Copies of this chain bind each other. A is one copy, B any other.
Amino acid sequence: MSYNTFGKLFRFTTWGESHGPALGCTVDGVPPRLSLTEADIQVYLDERKPGTSKYTTQRKEPDTVKILSGVFEGKTTGTPIQLMIENVDQRSKDYGDIAVSFRPGHADYTYMAKYGIRDYRGGGRSSARETASRVAAGAVARKTLGDGITIRASMVQMGAHKIDYSRFDWLEVKKNPFFCADPVTAEAWATELDAIRKSGSSIGAVIEVVAEGVPAGWGAPIYSKLDSDLAAAMMTVNAVKGVEIGAGFEAACLTGEENADEMRKGPDGKPEFLSNNAGGILGGISTGQPVVVRFAVKPTSSILTPRKSMNAEGENVDIMTKGRHDPCVGIRAVPIAEAMMALVLADHKMLHKAQCG
């Protein structure tokens, strides 16, 4: 089943293929009278767009967004906002191999198994180009959240090489091509990724995204928990294979005494937590602490080394993916992570207001 909508109240529906004429999304449920311009959205698209460093694909896409509806005289009207990005660099290349063979690690075979047809050009719908729509929608979500909530993400691991959290500084994120909050590690990664890139290989990564300023009480107890919605959101991003909240998988190793975040009365009468293993969420509902999510991104499956595969005729073939690819797709997942966090929070802000506001 095709399902291209995310969210319950703040909903967005994306459409478009990698090499079609355009792609975009409809953002529905947006509160009225928020100021919104194309520039408000473009700034986030520019962070995600390809070709900004040698560590991202050299496909040239300006990723210019147009607002086609839902905004009048610079303000949202409460009606659906259509955001469109035209594809420019649909390089007219020979898709020969990809058209008939299934690239390992890609969705070629599964799309064929499901639909019996696929738009193979640049990966079609399975291309990460779809995430441009999410980043655009995320910009609208941030408007909905307002200035009190800050959402930031950092790449915190490349391959097995993790950052040193003692050097963590959000201000560093925009200063290096890895969106990395630890400048020393970023420098080391540069050398490592250069080697990987030159060898035609690729590498995985881990991203951490943090939302500060989320009030206590957002979320829901059972099947739309704030953490389960976040897990779903991050797991929908291309190449993501794992998601964790707060202490995450490390929590398995902890005792009850170590894990449960103690509280003391804070200056405003609200609890002040002495740790944040919960990642800002207990019982599916925000605690008022920072909401902390991490997710693992697998290495780009498009590599220059030939791999064993099959073609649509059922013959064994060896396939090598030529063309323009990110040696570490985790890098461009950083702005997407922020967008997904914003989108989930905007939805929960509205859901909370509806029942308990």
A113 touches which of B242, B243, B288, B350 (Cβ 8 Å): B288
A236 nearest CB across to chain B (Å): 4
The verdict on A136 contacting chain B, using a C-beta distance below 8 Å, is no
Nearest CB to that of A311 among chain B residues?
B265
Q: Which residues of B contact A260 (CB under 8 A)?
A: 103-106, 301, 303, 307
Which chain A residues numbered 235 to 269 have a C-beta less than 8 Å away from chain B? Answer: 235-236, 238, 241-265, 269
Q: Which of A172-180, A183-191, A213-221 contacts B (4 or more CB under 8 A)?
A: A213-221
The verdict on A28 contacting chain B, using a C-beta distance below 8 Å, is yes
User: How many subunits of this chain does the assembly comprise?
Assistant: 4
A355 touches which of B9, B204, B252, B271 (Cβ 8 Å): B9
Q: Which of A46-54, A55-63, A116-124, A146-154 contacts B (4 or more CB under 8 A)?
A: A116-124
User: Chain A contact residues: over half helix, strand or loop, or mixed?
Assistant: mixed
Asked if A3 meets B26 with Cβ closer than 8 Å, knowing A109-B287, A314-B265, the reply is: no
Flag if B279 contacts A241 (CB, 8 Å): yes
Q: Which residues of B contact A229 (CB under 8 A)?
A: 232
Contact-size category for A:
35 or more
A252 touches which of B21, B282, B296 (Cβ 8 Å): B296
Flag if A354 contacts B356 (CB, 8 Å): no
A78 touches which of B2, B82, B105 (Cβ 8 Å): B2
Q: Which residues of B contact A301 (CB under 8 A)?
A: 256, 259-260
Q: Which residues of B contact A117 (CB under 8 A)?
A: 32-33, 72, 75-78
A14 nearest CB across to chain B (Å): 7
Flag if A78 contacts B110 (CB, 8 Å): no
Asked if A115 meets B225 with Cβ closer than 8 Å, knowing A69-B15, A241-B251, A262-B307, the reply is: no
The answer for the CA separation of A227 and B232 in the assembled complex, in Å, is 8
A115 nearest CB across to chain B (Å): 4
A219 nearest CB across to chain B (Å): 7
Asked if A201 meets B269 with Cβ closer than 8 Å, knowing A109-B287, A241-B246, the reply is: no
Flag if B271 contacts A109 (CB, 8 Å): yes
